[in-house]
Amino acid sequence: MPPRDGRSLRNVGRNVGGGESRRPSRGEDTLLRPRRRRAKRLFDVGMASVGLLVSAPVWALIAVAIKLDDGGPVFYGQERVGRAGRRFQSWKFRSMVPNADQLYGRLQAGERDPRVTRVGRVVRATAMNELPQLWNIFKGDMSFVGPRALLPEEMEIRGPRESVPLEKIPGYDVRQQVRPGLTGIAQVYAPRDIPRRQKFRLDRLYIEKQNFGLDLKLFVLSFWVTLRGKWEHRGRKF
């Protein structure tokens, strides 16, 4: 079930191999041990290499479709925050109108968002717009599985007069200990529009329980969501 409350969060915990997320104890090592961390990195490099080669024809088709649709740039680059606060340039296929940030500001995409192009609606639903992030994974900016990469100085909007910096939300510091991921517990299980504090709890749950089996499960589930074209769905994805 998508995590809308404490009970649903516990359900997600059981699905990924344990109970509800707990607060890490003082001095607890929430990072992977060096051997497992190296194995995770080798998996990322190997799968990203294969993905870049196999998806090359898809890249060409998407690039042609974007150019035929509105003639604008094919790629969209945006600065993101990685492990330990290191910033990097994240790349995607452009799915919104050119200069969307300048025209509308940096806002999370909503349902029937007027900024999203015709091609954009297809590639966003299937996550094909994120194929260029395979290069970010190959370089080591990201991992296949981990918390979502955040924007620098990103804010959560809580009504017309309240904006909260994400670094002020509990769980922000813990999630900065690992590489951000293309997919993860929050990306797969959580509805898109729940508060960040709940997504951060799911990120912490992943950091506490991360292992190869969990990564593989989330990897497979992500393919299933892609095949169903449900990444932009506001409710359950599967």
pLDDT (tens digit per residue) in 186-238: 999 988 778 888 889 999 999 998 899 999 999 999 999 999 898 887 677 76
pLDDT category at 1 given cuts 50, 70, 90 is very low
Span 75-98, pLDDT tens digits? 999 899 999 889 999 999 999 998
> How far apart (Å, rounded) are the C-alpha atoms in residues 155 and 161?
12
What does the alpha-carbon distance between residue 120 and residue 66 come to, in Å, rounded to a whole number?
A: 8
